[in-house]
């Protein structure tokens, strides 16, 4: 079973291009599943039936795992069986008709347009590192990037004449996303003035650099966001991803169509993007209640 599981993990690396973090999560969930089978004297995946799958889910619940965590485990194991059947390593799929545990509907946190403006105006762009931080936040909100995509941007990925950025997203999928004038202007200033000062003659392909020309870490950028949120007096608990969520929501509130937002976010499945329509719907309800004369 360990060998079959490793074949699936290799497939996720080579064919799906999963990130290290995602791969580690899949691997941990699959190890727990295999341990459960072996503890119950099952040493062949062909001997697993639906009853065993349900017993495994009950075991996860008894160990205190939330519905969301159980759903994640089930998705990992479901992928394993789907892969092994496609590779003709197994003849039956005991998990096919098992529903994913209900996790509820968790809306991502977003900021208002006013809060985003306050955050983006917080850096003192007369200072080189503040200039860098300003450009990073402007591009993240202006293009809706993931933090991992932002910190790995290279100089060649941004076209300031045509106002777009080239992004390498999940699964090594490339996409082109427009950026607005504020992002273009401050990034141009960073490239011409701030970046050479911070680099001090060190050569690196990365657009945004920290010490010794290395790209910034996700943790460092998270601290930057926290710093400017404090300066901007934003009481919400925001993260870098909050800017991405706000980007998508503000576009939809402004009238953008869902397919365009899906493309800009780099979502492979439009159902992932549809969560933002619920936020926009809440916004429309609030606007109706506030301005309609019959409310």
Contacts of 3 (CB under 8 A, 6+ apart): none
What's the burial of 150, exposed, middle or buried (CB within 10 Å: 0-12/13-18/19+)?
Answer: buried
- The three-point CA angle 118-124-126 to 5° equals 145
Q: For residues 61 and 4, what is the distance between their CA atoms, to the nearest angstrom?
A: 26
DSSP3 helix / strand / coil % (the chain, rounded to 5): 60, 5, 35
**Can you give the C-alpha Rg of the chain in angstroms?**
23
Q: What angle do CA 222, 226, 229 make, to 5 degrees?
A: 135
Cβ atoms within 10 Å of 70's Cβ, excluding its own: 21
Give the closest residue to 152 by CA, choosing from 199, 193, 205: 205
b/e for 253-279, b at 16 or more Cβ within 10 A? beeeebeebbebbbbeeeeebebbeeb
Task: Give 45's contacts (C-beta < 8 A, 6+ positions apart).
Answer: 1, 4, 37, 81, 84, 90
- Annotated catalytic sites, by residue? 146, 170, 241, 244, 267, 276
Q: How many residues does the chain have?
A: 295
């Amino acid at each position: 079973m360990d060998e079959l599981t490793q074949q699936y993990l290799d497939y996720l690396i080579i064919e799906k291009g999963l990130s290290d973090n995602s791969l580690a999560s899949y691997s941990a969930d699959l190890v727990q599943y295999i341990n459960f089978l072996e503890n119950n004297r099952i040493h062949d995946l062909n001997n697993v039936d639906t009853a065993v799958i349900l017993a495994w889910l009950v075991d996860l619940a008894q160990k205190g795992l939330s519905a969301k965590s159980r759903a994640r485990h089930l998705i990992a194991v479901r992928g394993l069986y789907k892969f092994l059947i496609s590779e003709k390593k197994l003849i039956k799929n005991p998990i096919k008709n098992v529903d994913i545990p209900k996790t509820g509907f968790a809306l991502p946190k977003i900021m208002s347009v006013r809060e985003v403006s306050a955050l983006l105006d917080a850096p003192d762009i007369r200072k080189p590192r503040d200039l860098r931080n300003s450009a990073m936040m402007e591009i993240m909100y202006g293009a809706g990037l993931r933090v991992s995509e932002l910190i790995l941007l290279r100089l060649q990925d941004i076209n300031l004449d045509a106002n777009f950025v080239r992004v390498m997203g999940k699964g090594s999928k490339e996409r082109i996303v427009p950026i607005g004038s504020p992002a273009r202007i401050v990034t141009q200033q960073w490239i011409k003035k701030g970046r050479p000062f911070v680099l001090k003659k060190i050569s690196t392909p990365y657009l945004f650099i920290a010490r010794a020309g290395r790209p910034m870490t996700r943790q460092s950028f998270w601290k930057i966001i926290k710093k400017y949120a404090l300066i901007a007096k934003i009481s919400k608990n925001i993260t870098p991803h909050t800017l991405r969520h706000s980007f998508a929501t503000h576009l939809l509130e402004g009238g953008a169509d869902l397919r365009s937002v899906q493309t800009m976010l780099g979502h492979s499945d439009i159902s992932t993007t549809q969560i933002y329509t619920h936020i926009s719907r809440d916004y429309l309800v609030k606007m109706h209640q506030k301005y309609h004369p019959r409310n």
